[in-house]
Structure 1
Amino acid sequence: MLGILVVAAYLAFWPVPIRAVGWQAPAAPGYQGAHAVNAKLAGQRRIPLGAEQGPEHVVFGSDGLLYTAVASGHILRMDRDGGGQAVFASTGGRPLGLAFDAGHNLIVADAIKGLLSVAPDGKVTPLTDAVDGKAIGFANAVVVATDGKIYFSDASERFTTAQWGGTEAAAMLDVMEQSATGRVLEYDPAAKRTRVVAKGLSFANGVALSADQQHLLVAESGRYRVWKIAVGAERLDVATPSPQAAVLADNLPGYPDNLMRGTNGRIWLGLAGQRNDLDAMAERPYLRELALRIPRFLWSMPKPYGHVIALTEDGKVVDDLQDPSGASALTTGVTETADRLYIHSANGGSLGWLAK
C-alpha cells in the first residue's frame, strides 16, 4: 500500500518544468482530401553528411553552391550533388534558419546565439540577441526583405535550446505547455534596431515573405496553423483579432515547420511530425504535466512520417508529398530549384532530394 501511495504522490506532485495551459484543439483532419495518403516523398536520393546530423535548412548562394545548417553548429557548403562538401562556418550554437542578404552575407537564425551574419569568407558576426531588454532565447527561422530588413522567429520565451540541451527537447516542452510565448521579430541592419512584430504564438517557426513583401507568413507549430501578418505590425498579439493578422492555413495534419518560397508562386511547408495524443490533452493541462512524470519509453509515439506540402498565398494546398513508410527523418521543409526538391530534416544524417 505504501508503494502505491508513493507512486501516486510522485505522479501527482513531482515538479515538472511546464505550467500547462488549456486550449481547444481542433479535431485532426486526418489524411484525406488535399492530404490523402500518398508516397510521393518516398525514394529520395541521399547526400551523405558524414558525421553531421540534422540538415535543418537549405539555401543556395549566388555562387551556385548549397548551404545547410547542422546540429554540430557547422554550416556546410557543397555543390548540388554533395561534392566538395566542407565546413563554411561554425556558429558555436545550433544554426537553424538561413537566408542570404543583398551583400551575399548568409543570415543565420541560431537557436543559441541569436541572429548572426556570416560573410562570404566565413567570418561570423552577431547581429542581435535581445529585444526590449530581453534575450532572444530560440531564434528559429529567418527571411530577408529586399529593403534589407530581416524578419525572424523567436520560437519560445519559456524554453531555450541552451537551457534544455537541444532544439527538440525545448520545442516539446513549449508545445506541451501551450503558454504561447513565441514571437516574430524584425532586425533593421541600417538602424541596428530589433523590434517585435507579433507575439502570442505557440512555438513560432517558419517565416516567409508574401510576393509583395507586405506580409509575413508564419508557421505556428503548436497550434497546427500558418498566419499571414503585416510586416508593419507592432507588438501585435495574435490572440487579439486584428486586421493586420489572419490565419492562412488552419488545422494542418502535422506540426508546421519551415516555410520557403518555391517556383510558380508555391510556398513550401514542412510538417515535422504527425498529430498525436496531445490533442486529447488540450483541455486537460494536468494530463500534460502528468505525462512528463512518466518515463519517455512508456509514451505512445507516432512513427516517423515524412510530409511536406505546397501552398498558394491564399492558403490553397497545391501539392502534398508524403512518406508513410517511416523511412524519412523528421521533415522540416523544402528548398525548390528548377529541377529538384531538397528536403530539410531536423535529425537525419543525410540530405534528401527528389527530381521534379
Structure 2
Amino acid sequence: MSQMLRTIRAILNRNKDPHSIPVMDGNLSPNDALDRCVEVSGFDAPPDDMAFDAAGVLHVSTGKKVLRQSAGAGGWEEIASLPGNAGGLAFHPDGRLLVCVAGEGLAMMSGDRTDWLRQAGGEALGCLTSVAVATDGTVFLTQGSGRNRPDDWVVDLMQRNATGLLIRHDPKADKAEIIARNLAYPAGVAVTPDDRHVLYSESWAHTLTLCDRQGKARRKVVRNFPGYPCRLVPDGEGGYWVCLFAARTHLVELVLSDTEFRTAMMAEIDPAYWIAPSLCATGSYKEPLQGGGIKKLGLVKAWAPPRSYGLVVRINSEGDIMESLHSRVGGTCHGVTAACLHGEGLFVLSKGHKRLVLQQRGHGHG
C-alpha cells in the first residue's frame, strides 16, 4: 500500500514532467464534431486506413481485405485479399497500391502482381503500422514493435516497449534501410510537402517528430499529446491532421508507472478488462473506469473517464493545435486511426465503431 501511495504522490506531483497529460482546453476543448459528421459507410470488420488513388477513388483496408469504393452510393468492391490483416495504405506515384500486412511486410500491388518487402536491416517487418511515399517514389514506413503484431498494441503498451523502427525503402534499388530505432510504437508517418523531411508519431511517447530523409536532425514538433497519436496527413495549409486513437487517463498512467501491479494484471486478468485504453468500450460491467461513468437519467456523462474516445487534431507547422474534432464518452466515432482530406471535406475512419464519416469543410479547408 505504501508503494501505491508513493506512486500516486509521484503522479500528482508531475507538473514538471513533460509527459503529464495536457489539459483539453482552448483549441483542444471537447466537442461532438465527429458525432455530427455525415456517415459515408459502415463496415463488417474494423477498418484501419484509407487512401485515394490518382483518379480520386477511395480505398479502405479492413480485416484481411482492401476495398475500393464503387460507383453506387456507399458500395464497395474487394480488390485484394491478403495473408494477414491489412493496415496502412498508400499509392505509389507509379500507380501501385502499398499495403502494410500484419505478420508479413509491405505488399506492393499492381494488377495481378504483388511484390513484397519483408525485412529491413535484418529485421522482419511483422508490425508495419503506416506508409507514406515521397514524390520521387521513396517509401517511408513505420514498424510499431519488434515484439508484437499490430493487433497486440495494448500488450505492447503494457510491456512499455520501445522497439519500433522508421524505415526508408528505395523501390528502384530494391533497398530498405532502418533510419531510426528504439521508437515507442511509431504508428504514423508523412513526408513534408517540400519532400525534404519526414514526420512520424510515437504513440507511447505521445510525440510527433520531424527528421530529414536520412533520419537525422530530429526535432520534436509536438512533445506531449493528450492521447496516443497514430497516422497523420497534410492539411493543405502547411500543417497536419493527426489522429489519436485513444485518450490518455490518469488511471492508465498510474498503472504504467507501477510495474508490479501491471505485471500481475497482465498475468491474471483477461486482456479485455485490463486497465488500458480501448478502441471501443463494450459497456460490460467488468470494464474498468465504470465508477466515473455511472449513468444519470439513462445517459453516460460526456465528461466521464474515457475507456475509449474519438479525436483528430489539426496542428500548424510549429506543432500548435489549431483545431480538434472529438467524439466523447458515449459517442459513436471512437478509435480513430485514419483521416484524409479530399474533395468536399475531411474523411475520418472510426476503427472502434467500424464507420467512415465525412466532415464537410469550408472553402478555406479544401
Which range, TM-score by smaller chain?
0.7 to 0.9
Equivalent residue runs for 1:144-223 within 5 Å: 144-161=133-150, 167=151, 170-223=152-205
Matching residue within 229, 243, 257 for 1:270? 243
Q: Is the 8 A contact 1:101 1:107 kept in 2?
A: yes
Q: Is the 8 A contact 2:203 2:228 kept in 1?
A: yes
Taking the aligned partners of 2:72 and 2:213, their CA distance within structure 1 comes to 36
Taking the aligned partners of 2:156 and 2:35, their CA distance within structure 1 comes to 30
Taking the aligned partners of 1:330 and 1:90, their CA distance within structure 2 comes to 24
In structure 2, the residue matched to 1:303 is 307
Unmatched 5+ stretches in structure 1:
1-23, 162-166, 234-242
2:92 paired with 1:97: no
2:39 paired with 1:46: yes
2:67 paired with 1:67: no
Q: What displacement does 1:82 show? A: 4.7
Taking the aligned partners of 1:286 and 1:40, their CA distance within structure 2 comes to 40
In structure 2, the residue matched to 1:350 is 355
2:337 paired with 1:332: yes
Taking the aligned partners of 1:200 and 1:308, their CA distance within structure 2 comes to 26
- CA RMSD for the aligned pairs? 2.0
Matched letter for residue 199 of structure 2: L
Q: Is the 8 A contact 1:25 1:282 kept in 2?
A: no
Q: What displacement does 1:47 show? A: 2.9
Instruction: Give the secondary structure class of the aligned counterpart of 2:220.
Output: strand
Instruction: Give the secondary structure class of the aligned counterpart of 2:146.
Output: coil
Identity %: 25
Matched letter for residue 186 of structure 2: A
Q: What displacement does 1:111 show? A: 2.1
Matched letter for residue 270 of structure 1: C
Taking the aligned partners of 2:221 and 2:72, their CA distance within structure 1 comes to 35
Q: What displacement does 1:81 show? A: 7.7
Unmatched 5+ stretches in structure 2:
1-16, 274-285, 290-305, 362-366
Matching residue within 88, 113, 118 for 2:109? 118
Matched letter for residue 205 of structure 1: A
Deviations 1:193-252 (CA, angstroms, capped at 9, x unpaired): 11001111111100001122222111100111111122113xxxxxxxxx6112111221
Taking the aligned partners of 1:159 and 1:212, their CA distance within structure 2 comes to 34
Normalised by the size of structure 1, how large is the TM-score? 0.82
Taking the aligned partners of 1:329 and 1:263, their CA distance within structure 2 comes to 25
Q: Is the 8 A contact 2:311 2:334 kept in 1?
A: no
Taking the aligned partners of 1:68 and 1:81, their CA distance within structure 2 comes to 16
Equivalent residue runs for 1:277-316 within 5 Å: 277-292=251-266, 293-295=268-270, 296-297=272-273, 298-301=286-289, 302-316=306-320
Taking the aligned partners of 1:81 and 1:323, their CA distance within structure 2 comes to 28
Normalised by the size of structure 2, how large is the TM-score? 0.80
Aligned length: 313
Deviations 1:69-108 (CA, angstroms, capped at 9, x unpaired): 002x111101588544101112221111111111111111
Taking the aligned partners of 1:317 and 1:48, their CA distance within structure 2 comes to 29
Q: Is the 8 A contact 1:269 1:332 kept in 2?
A: no
Taking the aligned partners of 2:338 and 2:72, their CA distance within structure 1 comes to 18
